[in-house]
Amino acid sequence: MRTYPFIYTINHIQKINTTTIKERLSRKPHDLFSPHRTDFFMIYLFTEGEGKHIVDFEEIEVKPNHILFISKGQVHAFDPKESYDGRALIFTEDFFCRTSHDCQFLQSTILFKNIFHQAFFDVKNNFDKLYDLFIEIFNELKNPVDHKQSEILHNLLYRILLLSEREIEFQEGFEKKQSLQHNIVLSFIQSVEENYKQQKKLVFYTDLLRVGIRSLQISTAKELNKTPKDIINDRVILEAKRKLTYENILIKEIAYDLGFEETTNFIKFFKLKTGLTPNEFKDSI
């Protein structure tokens, strides 16, 4: 499976770019219809048509007036039968993270770190505002580069993210969910994302977060109806499924990459969690 780097088009300096979805698909249509990763963040604002977009084995039914956020490293694919269009916006972590506050926002926002589901929702009355911001970014990228351009683009992107975050938080009652337990779960999931390949023991995470095991268990049960161990195992299984589905590598290489010293231990773990051996899962796709 390929990982695509950032794509420059009209501006070869700024690591932010926007175009129409159809134009993006016209550049590498066959590649983008196949599952792939990117090393940048993506936002799709759909304006018309219908079809599917697959993100980490989840089929999303594309609808006009909806917006989709895809984080760096997620596996996704366009629908070859799609009829939808809209605006696509991509940006790198380096472009956005200018301060520690920027980095904290990007690492915790419900748009890219939604612990409940992929961030895809109706933008309702914000559609015109968001669309105009996409166009403002496009027009600014066409201007000659100067010492103000990067900050202007950063500001426009921030406005898109904040407007979108306000809308999804309102729709999902997110403000009501803000609690100590919710924040513990967010921190735990971020730590798992950063360490799951090598660290699978719960005590590592409780020491890292400075919380008790029981406190973490209560928090994940309340917020997600899962145990902390379930969350760690689910992340390992997701990555294993990604590799088995999209990468042409040996089972022992997958096991090693996911932190298993013995391939047999990985096979037993995978079958215990999915009911299939890795090869059986691969054959079932």
Q: What mean pLDDT is predicted for residues 1-20?
A: 80
Percentage of the chain lying above the pLDDT 90 cut: 66
Q: Over 60: is that where the pLDDT of 135 sits?
A: yes
Cα–Cα nearest to 44, from 14, 76, 8, 13 = 76
pLDDT at 178 (0 to 100):
64
What is the distance of C-alpha 8 from the center of its chain? Answer: 21
Yes or no: say if 109 and 153 are a contact pair by the CB < 8 Å rule. Answer: no
Query: How many Å apart are CA 198 and CA 50, to the nearest integer?
Result: 41
Structural domain spans, the chain: 3-175, 180-284
Q: Are strands 37-38 and 3-4 parallel, antiparallel or unpaired?
A: parallel
Instruction: Determine the Cα angle at 23 with ends 128 and 105, to 5°.
Output: 55
Q: What mean pLDDT is predicted for residues 80-108?
A: 92
Tell me the pLDDT tens digit for each residue of 149-175: 999 999 999 999 999 999 998 888 765
Yes or no: say if 34 and 55 are a contact pair by the CB < 8 Å rule. Answer: no
pLDDT at 172 (0 to 100):
81
Would you identify the CATH topology of the domain 3-175?
Jelly Rolls (2.60.120)
pTM over the 0.85 mark:
no
> What separation in angstroms does the CA of 236 have from each of 13, 98, 145, 196, 243?
37, 31, 43, 7, 11
Yes or no: say if 160 and 191 are a contact pair by the CB < 8 Å rule. Answer: no
Query: How many Å apart are CA 164 and CA 267, to the nearest integer?
Result: 41
Would you identify the CATH topology of the domain 180-284?
Arc Repressor Mutant, subunit A (1.10.10)
Q: Over 60: is that where the pLDDT of 226 sits?
A: yes
